[in-house]
Amino acid sequence: MPAATRHPDLCLHPAVAAALAGGAPVVALESTIISHGMPWPQNAETALRVQAEVRAAGAVPATTAVIDGRLCAGLDDGQIERLARAGSTTPKASRRDLPVLVAQGRSGTTTVAATMITAAAAGIRVFATGGIGGVHRGAAQTMDISADLLELARTPVAVVCAGAKSILDLPLTLEVLETHGVPVLGYRTDELPAFFCRSSGLKLDARLDNPADIAAVMRAQWNGSLGGGGLLVCNPIPEAHALPRAVVDAAIDTALAEAAQQGIAGKAVTPFLLARVNALTGGNSLAANVELVLDNARLAAAIAVADAALAMGNGR
């Protein structure tokens, strides 16, 4: 039975519904990058480019959002433009926000956590994003830890990313993922990528060098007795677009000091820091962000294609 008939608050784009019904590969995409990650019109252009990359790699894109109280897996161009033009006036939606938005018939753009929820409800197994949220610096005092990490512990979706955003406390982020039993896989890397930078100096326990091997880990995680939640696939930003670590670290330090001076906290922290880092790097970080998202989309599509092939080979 199609997922749309099982979940009263889920709406599937026709192309996504057809792909899922036929066992074709589908890749979920988040929409917070549209409303809070980039300015108009670059946000809309990037969202459409990411979808095109997924299609070119043989999968069907399913950009997710809450639209008028429905969890949508797959947006048309008009809906993407609507979110892009509205920008930050459309709220970011994580797990805690979904019930209110659904009950009130409102719209929201999906974070990593909310995209995982929507993807799992639809039956989509692979999701591409830029970087996940994590443990914020100073979390020992603030307890500011992204819901993305807890969602990875509970929801069976493979998240392809360029590591955690480099504005975060990366060692503690890895510790929380380990505590919650989330497999963290390095794609052709032995280290956790640091979003704009290819390396963080933090070693990973598992390296896999082709999409089929990642798809095999997904099936081991979910199809047997392991009963696992999500898993994280860390794909370093392409070398041609990576930023020097010293430049990024200096920009982050300045941005963090400015955020503290201005009393910026909670959901406002990440978009503020990313915007300031972009300004402090002369726009280079935004360009890098676009390139890493496109590369993650290509890898996610390759993993989804491999996963669909394994499912067909197993007759399920």
Instruction: Please state, in angstroms and rounded to a whole number, the distance separating the CA atoms of residues 288 and 241.
Output: 6
Contacts of 276 (CB under 8 A, 6+ apart): 251, 254, 255, 258, 259
Count, in order, helices (H) and strands (E) of the chain. Answer: 14, 11
Instruction: Please state, in angstroms and rounded to a whole number, the distance separating the CA atoms of residues 51 and 93.
Output: 21
pLDDT band at 1 (very low <50, low <70, confident <90, very high): very low
> What's the pLDDT score for residue 129?
97
Q: Is the pLDDT of residue 3 over 70?
A: no
pLDDT in tens, 47-68: 999 999 999 999 999 999 999 9
Question: Can you state the angle between helices 147-154 and 112-122, rounded to 10 degrees?
Answer: 20
DSSP 223: S
> What's the pLDDT score for residue 156?
96
Instruction: Please state, in angstroms and rounded to a whole number, the distance separating the CA atoms of residues 134 and 176.
Output: 9
> What's the pLDDT score for residue 7?
75
Read off the pLDDT of each residue in 122-144 and give the average, rounded to a whole number. Answer: 90
Mean per-residue pLDDT of the chain:
93
pLDDT band at 4 (very low <50, low <70, confident <90, very high): very low
> What's the pLDDT score for residue 147?
95
How far out from the chain centre does Cα 56 lie? Answer: 19
> What's the pLDDT score for residue 138?
82
> What are the percentages of helix, strand and coil residues in the chain, rounded to 5?
55, 15, 30
How far out from the chain centre does Cα 258 lie? Answer: 26
Residue 274's alpha-carbon distances to 9, 181, 291, in angstroms, are 32, 29, 15
Contact 137, 260 (CB under 8 A): no
Q: Is the pLDDT of residue 73 over 90?
A: yes
Question: Which of the residue ranges 143-147, 193-197, 201-205 would you say has the lowest mean pLDDT?
Answer: 143-147
Out of 119-133, 136-150, 269-283, give the one with best mean pLDDT.
Answer: 119-133
Read off the pLDDT of each residue in 69-77 and give the average, rounded to a whole number. Answer: 97
> What's the pLDDT score for residue 137?
84
275 or 24, which is more confident?
A: 24
Q: Is the pLDDT of residue 6 over 70?
A: no
| Single-letter amino acid code for the residue at 96 | R
pLDDT in tens, 246-291: 999 999 899 989 998 999 887 778 778 888 988 898 888 889 999 9
Q: Would residue 165 show up in a list of annotated catalytic residues for this protein?
A: yes
Q: Which of 81, 92, 151, 165 is catalytic?
A: 165
Q: Is the pLDDT of residue 225 over 80?
A: no
Contact 228, 183 (CB under 8 A): yes
The token pair at 83 is 């979110």
Instruction: Please state, in angstroms and rounded to a whole number, the distance separating the CA atoms of residues 31 and 87.
Output: 11
Q: Which of 30, 53, 81, 151 is catalytic?
A: 30
Q: Would residue 239 show up in a list of annotated catalytic residues for this protein?
A: no
Q: How many CB atoms lie within 10 A of CB 1?
A: 6
Residue 115's alpha-carbon distances to 66, 111, 236, 243, 254, in angstroms, are 10, 6, 21, 28, 31
Read off the pLDDT of each residue in 25-50 and give the average, rounded to a whole number. Answer: 94
pLDDT in tens, 292-309: 999 999 999 999 999 999
Instruction: Please state, in angstroms and rounded to a whole number, the distance separating the CA atoms of residues 167 and 269.
Output: 10
What residue has token string 């917070």? 32
Read off the pLDDT of each residue in 241-245 and give the average, rounded to a whole number. Answer: 93
Read off the pLDDT of each residue in 157-176 and give the average, rounded to a whole number. Answer: 94
Long-range contacts of 44-52 (CB under 8 A, 24+ apart): 44/80, 44/81, 44/84, 44/85, 46/290, 46/293, 47/80, 47/84, 48/77, 48/80, 49/290, 49/294, 50/128, 50/293, 50/294, 50/297
What residue has token string 């039956």? 123
Q: Is the pLDDT of residue 315 over 70?
A: no
Instruction: Please state, in angstroms and rounded to a whole number, the distance separating the CA atoms of residues 298 and 114.
Output: 21
